Amino acid sequence: MTDAPQGPLQDITVVDLSRALAGPHAAMMLGDMGARVIKVESPGTGDDTRGWGPPFVGPEDDPVSTYFLSANRNKESIALDLKSDDGRDVLTRLVRRADVLVENFRPGVLDRLGFPVEHLHELNPRLVVLAISGFGHDGPQGGRAGYDQIAQGEAGLMSVTGPDADTPQRVGVPIGDLLAGMYGAYGVVAALHERDRTGRGRVVRTSLLAAIVGAHAFQGTAYTVAGHVGRAQGNHHPSLTPYGLFHCADGDIQVACGSEPLWVKLADAFGLDPAAPGMATNRQRTENRDAVVAALNETFATWRLDDLLPRLAELGIPSGEVRTIDRVYDWDQTRSQGLVLDVDHSVLGPIEIPGPPIRFDDNAFAGGRENHLAPPTLGEHDASIRAWLDEEENA
């Protein structure tokens, strides 16, 4: 067993049967908060994402996928063939000792492996099961396979993302998977709290479809309440103006005027009439967005980014530049928030990986634990996990 973790979930053991991204992300979030996460992988190949790349790093005969590294920190790995007697036996022993089981098989797969929910709760009535699917576990398309890009399209996200209504665009990260993982982890923590009262675990279900619909925000109510179907509008907000991407002399800048006083400040400072026809209220400006954007682009065209950003900050106007990924991770503000971790990988040695996005008030490190684990190699903890099971059973 690895060194005992710290954090609010330090007494929780998670069995992670999931692969790819939604389930692994949920399990990683629980691990960040101190839970012991045991990742069960197929022998030989492991999690699908171990083969996703480039980029790969490390030795040519043992390459490591950076995609896999993104979703599997703070976990141990055991390789089990769940179709074998040994694999099913070890999983049974793990379930008996676990608090949480995470799976994102297509609906029915876990049943066919011999572990339907009813059997899981016979083995361990206190077990919380997180089941993540593509489009839900029931309904007319409940058995449908789920892939993030397909879900982004089916769940409406691509229709409101992109330069215009005729050019749907996927989000630059697998946001459906990530949101499903986040909602799943949130549901698990709620179920664990309920278990303290009832003594029994329950099944928590979410899906890529549910997660994306759950993040529709104002686009959802615009349709359900007002009958308005939102469409992609590029880098400008559909309900607030000016709120979006603008151009200056040497680059791009984002400006967000979320209130009338901010608009007045912005306009007065840069020689525009805040009460001009078509600009006096947010509704007018939004209805005349093209003219407002053109006026600000013309105004900013003579300003350099290094001069414009401080001026907007001085005025109290929310603004920012558009950073590339490298400049985000090299930014001192990013690092000050614990968003870059130093870990020791068993193949790669010391590496930096993105860190958890939560900090607690009684420590300066990110997540609920001080010592974060590098993502494991396939089967790295086979022996230690089996030894732990033996010790527990012989105690």
Convert the pLDDT of each residue in 61-102 to its tens digit: 889 999 999 999 999 999 999 999 999 999 999 999 999 999
Write down the pLDDT at residue 393.
83
Average pLDDT over the chain, rounded to whole?
94
3-state SS, 188-246, equals HHHHHHHHHHHCCCCEEEEEHHHHHHHCCCHHHHHHHCCCCCCCCCCCECCCCCCEEEE
**Which of 179, 188, 131 is CA-nearest to residue 152?**
179
**Which of 336, 355, 346, 344 is CA-nearest to residue 32?**
355
Residue 374 CA, distance from chain mean position: 18
Q: Does 13-215+339-394 carry CATH code 3.40.50.10540?
A: yes
* Residue of 62, 166, 177, 330 with catalytic role: 177
Looking only at the bridges linking them, the beta strands covering 251-256 and 56-57 are unpaired
Give domain limits for the chain.
Answer: 13-215+339-394, 243-323
CA distance 269 to 267: 6
What pTM does this model have? 0.93
364 pLDDT more than 70: no
pLDDT in tens, 166-198: 999 999 999 999 999 999 999 999 999 999 999
Q: Beta-strand (E) ranges in 28-103?
A: 36-41, 56-57, 64-65, 76-79, 100-103
What single letter denotes the amino acid at residue 7? G
Distance separating the N- and C-terminal Cα atoms of the chain? 15
Write down the pLDDT at residue 365.
64
Region 291-312: what's the mean pLDDT? 96
CA distance 164 to 168: 7
What single letter denotes the amino acid at residue 283? R
Quick check: is 177 catalytic? yes
Please give the CATH number for the structural domain made up of 243-323: 3.30.1540.10
Binned at pLDDT 50, 70 and 90, residue 5 comes out as low
pLDDT in tens, 32-64: 999 999 999 999 999 999 999 999 999 998 899
User: Could you tell me the CA-to-CA distances from 243 to 253, 256, 320, 332 in Å, in that order?
Assistant: 11, 4, 12, 26
pLDDT in tens, 141-171: 988 888 999 999 999 999 999 999 999 999 9
Write down the pLDDT at residue 1.
46
